[in-house]
Amino acid sequence: MTRIIFLGAPGAGKGTQAQTLAEHWKIPHISTGDILRSAIQEQTPLGVKAKSFVDSGQLVPSELVQDMVEERLQKADTSSGWILDGFPRTVDQAAFLDNLLKKKNLGGALVINLDVPDDVVVDRLLERGRKDDTEQVIRRRLEIYRSETTPLIDYYGERKQLVVINGNKSAEEVTSNLKDLTVSC
């Protein structure tokens, strides 16, 4: 069973690689943003709770996100594995996920950190051409990402679950490296 968690800065290529590998292995690419939008659209009990936070411009509480991830991981399409993108974001969420996997006797997940230099990330994000993607805004988002993710990288590193992949290559080269790496999962 393939269970992968993707970490990496905005613009590192997590979504692209997760989608490519999910299609290759025929397992779901699970993004917390997609889970949230789907639950709200389907008006699930958790989606209704989340909508009240989203509508008022607040962040959805971590506990609610955790509950939504747990609910999503119980769906039948995850029986052969999954790729998580955007979760966990904190050490508390990582511990929650570890406990959830243990409770379900699923073992651990391989955590892949796509490492891309900040200047390359800035260039990639500026190329998207979004109005809110200025160099100053992107660099601030990178600072926040690094401060929030460093403890998570340390957490998985201490547990020998973390693999760092050079994401500063063509998408095809990164995909090839990831397929080679995860064949043993």
14 is in an annotated binding site: yes
Q: Answer yes or no: is 169 a known binding residue.
A: yes
Residue 159, annotated ligand binder? no
96 known ligand binder:
no
The answer to whether 111 is annotated as binding is no
179 marked as part of a ligand binding site:
no
Q: Is 160 annotated as a binding residue?
A: no
**Is 11 part of any known ligand binding site?**
yes
Residue carrying the six token digits 């709770």: 49
Binding site annotation covers 90?
no
Asked if residue 59 belongs to a known ligand binding site, the reply is yes
* 129 annotated as ligand-binding: no
Say whether 128 counts as a known binding-site residue.
Answer: yes
60 annotated ligand-binding residue: yes
Q: Please count the residues of the chain.
A: 185
Does 151 count as an annotated binding residue?
A: no
32 is in an annotated binding site: yes
16 among annotated binding-site residues: yes
| Other residues' Cβ atoms within 10 Å of the Cβ of residue 75 | 11
From 85, 75, 91, select the one nearest 39 (Cα to Cα). 75
C-beta of residue 78 within 8 angstroms of C-beta of residue 129: no
Binding-site sequence positions for AMP: 32, 37, 58-60, 86-89, 93, 130, 141
Binding positions for ATP are 11-16, 128, 169
Q: Which residues are annotated as a binding site?
A: 11-16, 32, 37, 58-60, 86-89, 93, 128, 130, 141, 169
